[in-house]
């Protein structure tokens, strides 16, 4: 049996590792700096401002006069669609029955609801006027409503939302937008320029670009980030092996 | 000393301290982007079937409920398996009542919890291997606001656990091995091993050092990969070439 060369026995030669590290650095350096820079931003940013809730206030509830509640048969007769759940809720200080026709696993998943006035039995349609009032009830800022727009997903401010919503814009210093679910009247959330600024950094960190692949989805399961993540993994691994090699050869000396 | 030589020295020394964390960031980051987030959340394990409710046997009205329970809020009429029930908050506590006669059905027992978990689980053939009622000290994977809760473990791929609220009878959390790994991956990514918050000092120090070390690395990329027109520092180059030759030997 021939005596084997120990260098060749190791899986990849060290010189190959070093060459790989150098060339990979050229491929990943821009994204690596974006990751480190945006990572630093997430570390230092004001986490309260990042939520976009500076002008949000808790919605106040009124006592329900239960003797005035209309009975279920009347409510059911108002619905042509199948109902899986009925909740007694409040909108603008008045009680409503919220009929669930379709409900996703989470509130931002595809759903379908309708509302019936719990005292009078009339259907409530969330139109621009109602949406505007609902938005104002959750708003404590000093701005006035400047526009009410119906928006379909994808919604830039609320990328995860999969339901049609009313966007109620306020003329304040932060350009606050309030989102109301068009079928249930539920408050989806607030957004403003501070949150939009933070969202920009998330887009960069997640490589969640609107002009690539399926567009921005508010997540990090996309082709481009997978590609760069694997290259960066190889880059860091080769660098790590290099450091171990330098340590092994006693090249870390104070001099 | 030249920029090239200094960069080499600082890159080498800084990476001795932050190189390990860069490797951790790349491993944990790669894991998180490779795993589909909806799978991680366990969404694909849930059979989201919502049958329509039968209202003809609802003899106990919303109005009666509100006069019997003056503190009731968030009242919902829905299903608990095949029964039509009310779920609501009686002060701080979730309560289930039968919609037929207003009888209290919560907290639910072990048999019912298992049955609800099985109903919600996609793989109908999977056997339940462990059941536990958790009232205090929730595990890392469960928020304490869901207590008390029944933990139902299935004998299936990736060891799934379903958590069924004892007071509402609803599936409140679902976990499996890849979620549990993901949770640790995120903790190591943000360097906060307990609360998993990204605004900690340890992360700040490592990010800044990694940034500086990477700038020196970029200088090295420039010198090593760009064609050099003039050999201004021939002595340095000769030294480096000698060192590289030594390494190869």
Residue pLDDT, tens place only, A124-162: 999 999 999 999 999 999 999 999 999 999 999 999 999
The answer to whether B29 contacts A232, with C-beta atoms less than 8 Å apart, is yes
Rounded distance between C-alpha atoms, residue A196 and residue A159, angstroms = 12
A69 touches chain B (CB under 8 A): yes
Write the ipTM: 0.89
* Chain B residues close to A105, C-beta within 8 Å: 43, 46, 48
- Give the mean pLDDT of A158-186: 96
Q: Are A201 and A58 in contact (CB under 8 A)?
A: no
For residue B156, the enclosing domain spans 43-175
- pLDDT on residue B232: 55
Q: Per the structure, how many domains does chain A have?
A: 2
Residue B50 lies in a domain: yes
Q: Model confidence over B16-60: pLDDT tens digits? A: 999 999 999 999 999 999 999 999 999 999 997 777 887 777 889
Instruction: For residue B241, give the H/E element and its range.
Output: helix B234-248
Q: Beginning with the edge strand found earlier in the chain, give each strand of the sheet holding B93-98 in spatial order.
A: A123-124, A112-117, A94-102, A85-91, B72-80, B83-90, B93-98
Burial of B65 (0-12, 13-18, 19+ CB in 10 A): buried
The pLDDT of residue B48? 75
Minimal C-alpha gap between A33 and chain B (Å): 7
B214 vs chain A: nearest CA distance in angstroms?
Answer: 8
| Rounded CA separation B228/B219 (Å) | 13
Give start and end residues of each alpha helix (H) in A207-252: 223-248
Q: Which domain holds residue A235?
A: 13-47+199-240
Q: Is the peptide bond before B21 cis (omega within 30 degrees of 0)?
A: no
Task: Look at residue B90 and tell me if it is in a domain.
Answer: yes
Q: Mean pLDDT lowest for which of A49-63, B85-99, B223-237?
A: B223-237
For chain B, the domain total comes to 1
Instruction: Give Cβ neighbours of residue B109 (< 8 Å, ≥ 6 apart).
Output: none
Phi, psi of A85 (to 5 degrees): -160, 145
User: What would the DSSP string read from start to end of A149-183?
Assistant: EEE-SSBTTBTT--S-EEEEEE-STT--EEEEETT
Chain B neighbors of A219, CB-CB under 8 A? 37
Residue B142 neighbours by CB distance under 10 Å: 18
**Range from A41-55, A96-110, A158-172, B221-235 carrying the lowest mean pLDDT:** B221-235
- A2 within a domain of the structure (yes/no): no
Best A67, A80, A236 member to test B by mutation, with max B CBs in 10 Å, is: A236
Vertex B100: Cα angle to B94 and B102 (nearest 5): 45
CB A58 within 8 A of CB A187: no
pLDDT reported for residue A2: 45
* CB < 8 Å from B in window 127-166 of A: none
Q: Would you say residue B235 lies in a domain?
A: no
Structure token digits, residue B242: 């000698």
Same structural domain, A85 and A142 = yes
Contact A62, A91 (CB under 8 A): no
Are A29 and B221 a contacting pair at CB < 8 A?
Answer: yes
Q: Is residue A38 part of a domain?
A: yes
What single-letter DSSP state applies at residue B155?
E
CA A67/CA B118 separation, integer angstroms = 39
Contact: B30, A232; criterion CB under 8 Å: yes
Task: Kindly state whether residue A43 falls inside one of the protein's structural domains.
Answer: yes
Q: Which of A39, A102, A108, A198 to mutate to test the interface with B (most CBs of B within 10 A)?
A: A39
For residue B50, which residues of chain A lie inside 8 Å, CB to CB?
84-85, 100, 102-103
Residue A213 sits in the same domain as residue A106: no
* Chain A residues lying within 8 Å of B204, measured CB to CB: 40, 43-44
Contacts of B69 (CB under 8 A, 6+ apart): B88, B90, B95
């Amino acid at each position: 049996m021939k005596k084997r060369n120990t260098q060749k026995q190791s899986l990849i030669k060290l010189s190959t590792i070093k060459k790989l590290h150098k060339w990979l650095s050229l491929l990943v350096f821009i994204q690596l700096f974006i990751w480190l820079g945006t990572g630093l931003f997430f570390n230092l940013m004001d986490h309260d401002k990042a939520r976009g809730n500076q002008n949000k206030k808790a919605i106040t509830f009124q006592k329900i006069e239960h003797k005035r509640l209309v009975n279920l048969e009347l409510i059911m007769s108002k619905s042509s669609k199948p109902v899986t759940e009925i909740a007694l809720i409040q909108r603008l200080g008045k009680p409503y029955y919220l009929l669930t026709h379709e409900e996703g696993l989470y509130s931002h998943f595809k759903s379908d609801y309708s509302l019936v006035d719990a005292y009078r039995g009339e259907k409530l349609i969330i139109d621009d006027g109602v949406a505007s009032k609902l938005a104002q009830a959750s708003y404590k800022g000093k701005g006035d409503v400047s526009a009410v727009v119906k928006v379909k997903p994808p919604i830039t401010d609320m990328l995860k939302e999969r339901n049609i919503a009313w966007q109620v814009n306020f003329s304040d210093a932060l350009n606050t937008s309030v989102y109301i679910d068009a079928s249930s009247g539920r408050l989806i959330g607030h957004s403003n320029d501070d949150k939009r600024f933070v969202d920009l950094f998330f887009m960069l960190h997640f490589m969640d670009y609107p002009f690539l692949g399926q567009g921005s989805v508010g997540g990090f399961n996309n082709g481009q980030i997978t590609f760069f993540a694997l290259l960066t993994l190889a880059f860091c691994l080769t660098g790590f092996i290099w450091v171990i090699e330098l340590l092994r050869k006693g090249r870390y000396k104070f001099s | 000393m030249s920029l090239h030589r200094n960069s080499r020295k600082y890159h080498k020394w800084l990476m001795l301290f932050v190189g390990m964390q860069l490797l951790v960031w790349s491993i944990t980051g790669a894991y998180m982007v490779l795993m589909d987030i909806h799978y991680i959340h366990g969404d694909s394990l849930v059979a989201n079937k919502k049958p329509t409710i039968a209202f003809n046997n609802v003899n106990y009205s919303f109005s009666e409920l509100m006069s019997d329970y003056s503190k009731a809020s968030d009242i919902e009429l829905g299903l608990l398996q095949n029964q039509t029930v009310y779920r609501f908050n009686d002060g701080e506590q979730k309560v289930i009542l039968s919609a037929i006669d207003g009888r209290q059905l919560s907290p639910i027992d072990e048999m019912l919890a298992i049955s609800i978990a099985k109903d919600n689980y996609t793989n109908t053939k999977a056997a339940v291997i462990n059941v536990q009622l958790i009232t205090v000290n929730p595990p890392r994977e469960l928020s304490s606001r869901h207590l008390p809760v029944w933990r139902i473990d299935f004998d299936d791929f990736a060891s799934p656990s379903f958590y069924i609220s004892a007071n509402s009878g609803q599936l409140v959390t679902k976990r499996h091995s890849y979620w549990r790994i993901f949770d640790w991956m995120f903790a190591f990514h943000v360097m906060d091993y307990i609360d998993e918050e990204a605004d900690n000092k340890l992360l700040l120090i490592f990010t800044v050092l990694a940034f500086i070390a990477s700038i020196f690395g970029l200088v090295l990329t420039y010198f090593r990969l760009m064609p050099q027109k003039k050999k201004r520092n021939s002595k340095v180059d000769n030294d480096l070439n000698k060192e590289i030759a030594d390494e190869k030997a």
